[in-house]
């Protein structure tokens, strides 16, 4: 790639020098002569020949015994002039005279330049496509063992791996496996690593490209890169195609026609076409990765495309310990280095930051010629890594905010445990999710077709419990905006409860939802009353179980995420 730019530059300079030389050469040899001087010279019989060029305002003349100079003389443009010259025994030429005329030279230069540019552009395009494809294929020797933590993601990907290995096993029972898996989460959490591990575990070729590779100046390059990427992969029969930074091509399309981006649309369409082009159980899987799920075009997320989406979150304290242990394997640590303590003090560090931390510490140790990594090396590295991290990084979340989040999430979890024991709490965490919340509860409702009145009310209560816990502990003045999403959800459920499901005793079965406007104040009033009474009810419940709330919060701060077993143990 570099080399080609040098060629282009060299030919450009060559052309420039030809032009400069040409003009210089011409200027040096062309001498202006007045018409009267010319007539005098003719009379002295010293003119050899005359040339009429395409420039009709002048003509050129050369002298006898002087072929170094060309004289430029104003053209009188009379009929008799030619006859006059002929009568004086002067040879007349039309068009050229020995030297290539300036115009011709110019045209030639322009042609050569245009041709050259076209040629290089064409070659560049071709070789960009080829280059991009050349570097894509790698066989991956990475296994899932090299990914610490991310237990949920790994178990979801294990399905994918066994599908690539034995697609027949799935198609024989009519199972359709996802064509595309989307890994989303903050940078450095191991998305690329996981994709490589899928290829490594399934023992198939790994074709990787980044979304930014597809975004090119030239319309059509991105699309043809996509096509040749899939073509290559299809040749290997089974393969993992990895597209990193998929948001670069899959951004939401804006409505305005003027702001449409041809190149990106073409690239995205090519990707969608290719994905629908290969058979579901063929053993080819496309894995996409992005830091931002919310900016992706919905077209990418539809069934048959990236329909399996897996969040890859920041590691909690347990995962951090595992990641640190994994990366410390190849590094000699001093005996007093405590990885447990290090895991605790690296809240909101990504896997990449943890790896980086140990690596920086190792460099400090090596610079000192110290055979082992000591605590002060790690401490020094800690600041290097933090300072290098982006300002928006969550490592700056204050102790207070952390505590509020912990109580809030503990409130949700406790209310769920007490009011909806049939639901399965798969995860309670104070590690922020990509979708915005400070922490979150992952509750899986019992799989039933209908919800009864008690369950709906209890769902509303569990939503309110986060805010209630904040109020109970910190007082009404200190409640935060963290509950806005909960309140919104609770409100819409209450409205349905009253207005759609006909569950309110006083208002009965009549529903306004079939009308265009729901302007009945009575309904709004009713919803508010119901919300308030549920709020008070839940507050009492949490107050009576304050010790459990405290215990869950304590363990949440300690471990950052709890699972169903932890909650059961605490509440037993």
Q: Which CB contacts under 8 angstroms, 24+ apart, belong to 397-404?
A: 397/347, 397/348, 401/438, 402/347, 402/430, 402/557, 403/553, 403/557, 404/438, 404/470, 404/474, 404/478, 404/480, 404/482
Per CB under 6 A, the segment of 147-155, 163-171, 173-181, 296-304 that binds ligand ADP is: 147-155
Per CB under 6 A, the segment of 38-46, 246-254, 349-357, 437-445 that binds ligand ADP is: 349-357
Nearer Cβ to ligand ADP (147/243): 147
CA–CA gap between residue 383 and residue 396 (Å, rounded)? 13
Q: Does 147 bind ligand ADP (CB under 6 A)?
A: yes
Residue nearest Zn ion, CB atom distance: 466
172-201 binders of Mg ion (CB under 5 A): 192
Is 187 known as a binding-site position? yes
Residue nearest ligand ADP, CB atom distance: 351
Min. distance of Cβ 130 from ligand ADP in angstroms?
26
Is 88 known as a binding-site position? no
Nearer Cβ to Zn ion (250/466): 466
| Cβ-based neighbours of 545, under 8 Å, separated by 6 or more | 414, 418
Q: Which one of 409, 470, 471, 560 is the catalytic residue? A: 409
350-389 binders of ligand ADP (CB under 6 A): 351-352, 355
| Cβ-based neighbours of 83, under 8 Å, separated by 6 or more | none
CA–CA gap between residue 505 and residue 457 (Å, rounded)? 14
For residue 543, give Cα distances in angstroms to 333, 416, 551: 48, 15, 13
For residue 213, the partner it binds in Mg ion, Zn ion, ligand ADP, none, with Cβ less than 5 to 8 A by kind, is none
Q: Does 267 bind Mg ion (CB under 5 A)?
A: no
Per CB under 5 A, the segment of 77-85, 124-132, 478-486, 512-520 that binds Zn ion is: 478-486
By CB under 5 A, name the one of 272, 466, 527, 560 that touches Zn ion: 466
Per-position DSSP letters for 520-569, written without gaps between them: -HHHHHHHHHHHHHHHHHHHHHHHHTHHHHHHHHHHHHHHSEE-HHHHHH
For residue 529, give Cα distances in angstroms to 199, 500, 523: 56, 17, 10
Min. distance of Cβ 354 from ligand ADP in angstroms?
7
Active-site residue flag, 409 = yes
Per CB under 5 A, the segment of 12-20, 26-34, 144-152, 479-487 that binds Zn ion is: 479-487
CA–CA gap between residue 164 and residue 282 (Å, rounded)? 8
Is 412 known as a binding-site position? yes
Min. distance of Cβ 153 from Mg ion in angstroms?
14
With CA atoms as reference, report the closest residue to 250 among 299, 192, 184: 299
Min. distance of Cβ 315 from Zn ion in angstroms?
22
For residue 277, the partner it binds in ligand ADP, Zn ion, Mg ion, none, with Cβ less than 5 to 8 A by kind, is none
Is 191 known as a binding-site position? yes
With CA atoms as reference, report the closest residue to 458 among 538, 533, 528: 538
279-308 binders of ligand ADP (CB under 6 A): 289
With CA atoms as reference, report the closest residue to 382 among 352, 361, 396: 361
Min. distance of Cβ 335 from ligand ADP in angstroms?
24
Nearer Cβ to Zn ion (285/404): 404
Q: Which stretches within 307-395 are classed as H helix?
A: 317-328, 339-345, 351-367, 375-388
Q: Does 211 bind ligand ADP (CB under 6 A)?
A: no
Nearer Cβ to Mg ion (300/415): 300
Q: Which CB contacts under 8 angstroms, 24+ apart, belong to 524-527?
A: 526/498, 527/491, 527/494, 527/495, 527/498
C-alpha 478: how far from chain center: 38
- The secondary structure element, H or E, covering residue 161 is helix 151-165
Min. distance of Cβ 198 from ligand ADP in angstroms?
12
Per CB under 6 A, the segment of 108-116, 186-194, 268-276, 434-442 that binds ligand ADP is: 186-194
By CB under 5 A, name the one of 486, 504, 555, 560 that touches Zn ion: 486
Is 486 known as a binding-site position? yes
Is 185 known as a binding-site position? yes
CB 31 within 8 A of CB 70: yes
CA–CA gap between residue 493 and residue 526 (Å, rounded)? 13
Which residues does the annotation mark as catalytic? Answer: 409
Give the residue ranges of the annotated binding site: 185-192, 408, 412, 486
The residue ranges that bind Mg ion (CB under 5 A) are: 192
Give the residue ranges of the annotated binding site for Zn(2+): 408, 412, 486
The residue ranges that bind ligand ADP (CB under 6 A) are: 147-150, 187-193, 289, 323, 326, 351-352, 355
The residue ranges that bind Zn ion (CB under 5 A) are: 466, 486
């Amino acid at each position: 790639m570099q080399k080609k730019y040098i060629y282009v530059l060299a030919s450009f300079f060559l052309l420039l020098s030809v032009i400069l030389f040409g003009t210089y050469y011409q200027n040096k040899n062309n001498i202006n002569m007045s018409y009267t001087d010319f007539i005098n010279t003719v009379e002295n019989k010293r003119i050899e020949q005359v040339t009429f060029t395409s420039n009709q305002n002048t003509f050129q003349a050369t002298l006898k015994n002087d072929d170094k100079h060309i004289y430029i003389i104003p053209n009188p443009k009379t009929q008799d002039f030619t006859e006059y010259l002929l009568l004086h025994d002067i040879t007349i030429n039309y068009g050229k005279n020995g030297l290539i005329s300036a115009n011709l030279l110019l045209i030639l230069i322009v042609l050569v330049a245009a041709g050259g540019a076209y040629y290089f552009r064409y070659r560049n395009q071709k070789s960009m496509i080829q280059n991009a494809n050349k570097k894509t294929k790698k066989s991956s020797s990475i296994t899932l063992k090299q990914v610490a933590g991310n237990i949920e993601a790994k178990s979801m990907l294990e399905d994918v791996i066994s599908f690539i290995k034995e697609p027949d096993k799935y198609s024989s029972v009519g199972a359709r496996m996802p064509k595309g898996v989307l890994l989303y989460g903050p940078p450095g959490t191991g998305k690329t690593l996981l994709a490589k591990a899928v290829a490594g575990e399934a023992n198939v070729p790994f074709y990787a490209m980044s979304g930014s590779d597809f975004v090119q100046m030239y319309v059509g390059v991105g699309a043809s890169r996509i096509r040749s990427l899939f073509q290559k992969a299809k040749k290997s029969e089974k393969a993992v195609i990895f597209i990193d930074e998929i948001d670069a091509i899959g951004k939401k399309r804006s409505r305005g026609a003027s702001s449409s981006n041809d190149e990106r649309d073409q690239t995205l369409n090519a990707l969608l076409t290719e994905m629908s082009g290969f058979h579901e159980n063929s053993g080819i899987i496309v894995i996409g990765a992005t830091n931002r799920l919310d900016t992706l075009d919905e077209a990418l997320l539809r069934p048959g495309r990236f329909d399996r989406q897996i969040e890859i979150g920041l590691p909690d304290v347990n995962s951090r310990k595992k990641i640190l242990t994994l990366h410390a394997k190849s590094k000699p640590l001093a005996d007093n280095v405590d990885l447990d303590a290090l895991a605790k003090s690296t809240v909101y560090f990504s896997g990449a930051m943890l790896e980086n931390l140990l690596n920086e510490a190792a460099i400090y140790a090596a610079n000192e010629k110290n055979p082992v990594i000591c605590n002060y090396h790690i401490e020094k590295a800690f600041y290097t890594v933090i300072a290098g991290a982006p300002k928006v990084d969550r490592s700056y979340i204050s102790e207070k905010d952390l505590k509020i989040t912990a109580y809030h999430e503990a409130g949700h979890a406790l209310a769920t445990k007490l009011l909806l024991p049939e639901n399965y709490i798969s995860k309670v965490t104070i590690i922020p999710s990509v979708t915005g919340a400070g922490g979150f509860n992952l509750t899986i409702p019992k799989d039933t077709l209908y919800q009864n009145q008690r369950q709906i009310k209890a769902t509303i209560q569990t939503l309110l419990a986060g805010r209630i816990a904040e109020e109970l502990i910190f007082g009404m003045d200190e409640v935060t905006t963290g509950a806005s999403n909960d309140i919104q959800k609770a409100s819409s459920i209450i409205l349905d409860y009253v207005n759609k499901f006909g569950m309110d005793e006083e208002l009965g079965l009549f529903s306004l939802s079939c009308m265009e406007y729901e302007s009945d104040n009575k309904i709004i009033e009713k919803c508010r009353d119901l919300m308030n009474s549920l709020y008070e009810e839940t507050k009492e419940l949490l107050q009576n179980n304050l010790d459990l709330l405290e215990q869950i919060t304590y363990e949440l701060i300690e471990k950052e995420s709890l699972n169903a077993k932890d909650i059961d143990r605490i509440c037993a």
